[in-house]
């Protein structure tokens, strides 16, 4: 299994009401990860089909960043924590399970997280 993150097209913006949103496409272009700061307790992470006919809640908690793995079978996301460095969480798209994906803190730098190009 290839759990390495991919350098995908990534868009981040702040809306008029101060909500931070981002969109990340899967490598095959069939799915979109979307985060909005509209929840009372923080942001939620959603996955939608490119056709717009299917939408699935991935996690309902503050999320700093997210992306698909190269194999397209998992989503990696960084929870937002106030007091410490967050673990990288992995969601299996088939089973829906959430597990900690263990990495050393120095590997979780922005260049690694967004790919070598720094996207």
Cα distance between the two ends of the chain: 24
Is 81 inside a domain boundary? yes
Q: Which of 7-11, 34-38, 56-60 has the lowest mean pLDDT?
A: 7-11
Is 94 inside a domain boundary? yes
Is 109 inside a domain boundary? yes
Which has more pLDDT, 44 or 83? Answer: 44
pTM of the predicted model, to two decimals? 0.63
Is 57 inside a domain boundary? yes
Mean pLDDT of 58-87: 76
| Segments forming the whole domain that contains residue 36 | 10-114
Mean pLDDT, the chain, rounded, equals: 67
Is 86 inside a domain boundary? yes
Mean pLDDT of 64-78: 82
Give CA–CA dist 58/77, Å, rounded: 10
Mean pLDDT of 111-117: 39
- Give me the number of domains the chain comprises: 1
Is 2 inside a domain boundary? no
Task: Provide CB contacts within 8 A for 88, sequence distance 6+.
Answer: 76, 77, 78, 100, 101, 102, 103, 108
Residue 26's Cβ-count burial label (10 Å; 0-12, 13-18, 19+) is buried
Is 38 inside a domain boundary? yes
Q: What is the CATH number for 72? A: 2.120.10.30
Mean pLDDT of 23-49: 77
In the block, residue with structure tokens 């922005």: 110
Is 1 inside a domain boundary? no
């Amino acid at each position: 299994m290839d759990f390495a993150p991919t350098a995908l097209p990534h868009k981040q913006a702040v809306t008029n009401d101060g909500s931070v949103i981002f969109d990340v496409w899967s490598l095959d272009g069939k799915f979109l990860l979307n985060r909005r700061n509209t929840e009372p307790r923080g942001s939620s992470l959603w996955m939608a089909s490119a056709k717009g006919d299917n939408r699935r809640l991935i996690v309902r908690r503050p999320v700093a960043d997210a992306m698909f793995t190269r194999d397209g079978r998992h989503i990696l996301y960084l929870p937002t924590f106030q007091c410490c460095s967050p673990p990288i969480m992995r969601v299996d798209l088939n089973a829906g399970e959430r597990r900690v994906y263990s990495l050393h803190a120095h590997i979780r730098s922005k260049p690694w997280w967004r790919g070598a190009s720094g996207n």
